[in-house]
Amino acid sequence: MQESKTYQRQMERAAERVTRETTIRHILTLLKRQFRPETVNALTPAIQSIDDLQRLEQLLITASEARNIESFAQMLHE
């Protein structure tokens, strides 16, 4: 039985949402391991407001390479 296009699209959106939420969680985890949690908490709303998965993936890489929270914040706000 073939699934309806509506059902398929709903499943795709659900998968995208889970991937987005997971990527955000990974970014925050990396940042909190490297920097003071209260500083990271100040950036959390800006990170959580991003819907573009590709942008979040770029920020994940940036979080893993950031030497300081200021450089990450600069990338976040570009």
Phi and psi angles of residue 20, each rounded to the nearest 5 degrees, phi first: -60, -50
Q: Which residues fall within 8 angstroms of residue 62, CB to CB, at 6 or more apart?
A: 71, 72, 75
Is the pLDDT at 1 greater than 80, yes or no? no
CB 20 within 8 A of CB 53: yes
| CA geometry: angle 17, 13, 4, nearest 5 deg | 155
pLDDT digits (tens, 9 = 90+) for 31-53: 999 999 999 999 999 999 999 99
**pLDDT for 8:** 86
C-alpha 50 chain-centroid distance = 7
Q: State the pLDDT confidence band at 7, using cuts at 50, 70 and 90.
A: confident
